[in-house]
Amino acid sequence: MLTDNPDLYRASQRARGADETLVDQLLDADVARRETIAAFETLRSEQNVFSKKVGKAKGEERAALLAEVKDLAAKVKQAQATADAAAAKASALQRSIPNLIVEGIPSGGEDDFTVLKTVGTARDFAAEGFEPLDHLQIAEKLDAIDMERGAKVSGSRFYFLKGIGARLEMAMMNMALDQAVSYGFIPMVTPTLVRPEIMQGTGFDVEHDDEIYRLERDDLYLVGTSEVALAGYHANEIMDLSDGPLRYAGWSSCYRREAGAAGKDTRGIIRVHQFNKLEMFVYTTIEQAEAEHARLLAWEEEMLAKMELPYRVIDTAAGDLGMSAARKFDCEAWVPTQGTFRELTSTSNCTTFQARRLNIRERQVVDGKAGKTRAVATLNGTLATTRWIVAILENHQNPDGTVNVPKALQPYLGGLEVLS
């Protein structure tokens, strides 16, 4: 807890480039919360004693006591309001402090990541004698993506996946689902609208996050990942993890406003407002979280290998982590027309951050007997999403505009070897 290890949280905030003073503000707020609660309980105890005296008193003594009780009741009411305000302030400050980072990850911002490995070799299109097309040019030749009509129907950065484009996404998602099931994941089709307390409990700032779509009339939020619904699935529950991690694979449409996206990212389907995703989500014990994180990364790399894509794995810097992540690995595929690696998938270890906010616990067993409860650890990672189509089309294109289908994906497209 922060109150037990404030220096760790100060260091974490410093590594993130976040406000260290929030830690001290929270410590002060917690002291105020405890003091105001104690003052309220003292006054309430006095009120109970006076109430008993009033019940026994008669005549003038009773009248005098009633006047004191009335005055004391007003003080109790004021003390309760003060205690509630102090608790609300402490809670708000607590919600504003991100998860404690895993020790040893890179400090700094978006560009301060560490490359852990690079796998595969980018194609030399010049040596092959042709200039590669970008994913949208290829998709338009294949009649696979229709951005123009997407904009006509829904606005900019919406699109239709059409024909082989729609089949390609479904094939990729089904291949990912089969892989997930083979590793013990339970398939889930999840809600895409959630309550504010679930969105907030997962680690999203519902009041200030410009990426989130909100339906004000219903006080519901569109999710940007099925992680949100899956994190809320066991809210306020005590779980049994004695048989090992509980793994879910959530299939859903996802929605993001992409308020800050600009430049090349607005072309095609790299950054769009709606997309589909298969998300791995895991509940496990604190002790198993780090090993589970490594497994999630390995399963993501297995998918990238099946897609025959050159990629690299980065250890994301603290300042580029989301609110809930203590550590995050990104898998970035090579995008030939941009001459750089772009994120296709990531996996995050959220330790106990989400579980504490959503009150998800496990019952500890000590010497064969049920003991106290404690928060579980949660992790997430993406196995497939619409953006993968970008890397598949660009890396496997041919001079005539056709696209070779990765061998592992061919059975999911009825044996089709080339998109044309």
Answer yes or no: is 282 a known binding residue: no
Rounded CA separation 111/280 (Å): 26
Phi, psi of 42 (to 5 degrees): -65, -45
Q: C-alpha dihedral over 198, 192, 241, 361, to 10 degrees? A: 0
User: Six-digit token pair at 87?
Assistant: 């608790």
Answer yes or no: is 225 a known binding residue: yes
Answer yes or no: is 274 a known binding residue: yes
Rounded CA separation 87/83 (Å): 6
Answer yes or no: is 236 a known binding residue: no
Catalytically active residues are: 256, 271, 343, 346, 387
Answer yes or no: is 258 a known binding residue: yes
Answer yes or no: is 275 a known binding residue: yes
Answer yes or no: is 128 a known binding residue: no
Answer yes or no: is 272 a known binding residue: yes
Query: Which residues lie below 8 Å from residue 150, measured CB to CB, with a gap of 6+?
Result: 158, 159, 160
Answer yes or no: is 10 a known binding residue: no
Residue with tokens 């497939």: 384
Distances (CA, A) of 343 to 15, 189, 271, 394: 22, 24, 11, 15
Answer yes or no: is 346 a known binding residue: yes
Answer yes or no: is 344 a known binding residue: yes
Answer yes or no: is 20 a known binding residue: no
Answer yes or no: is 61 a known binding residue: no
Answer yes or no: is 234 a known binding residue: no
Answer yes or no: is 380 a known binding residue: yes
Distances (CA, A) of 259 to 22, 210, 388: 27, 6, 21
Answer yes or no: is 256 a known binding residue: yes
The answer to whether 230 touches 190, Cβ cutoff 8 Å, is: yes
Answer yes or no: is 91 a known binding residue: no
Annotated binding site for L-serine: 225-227, 256, 279, 380, 382
Annotated binding site: 225-227, 256-258, 272-275, 279, 343-346, 380, 382
Annotated binding site for ATP: 256-258, 272-275, 343-346
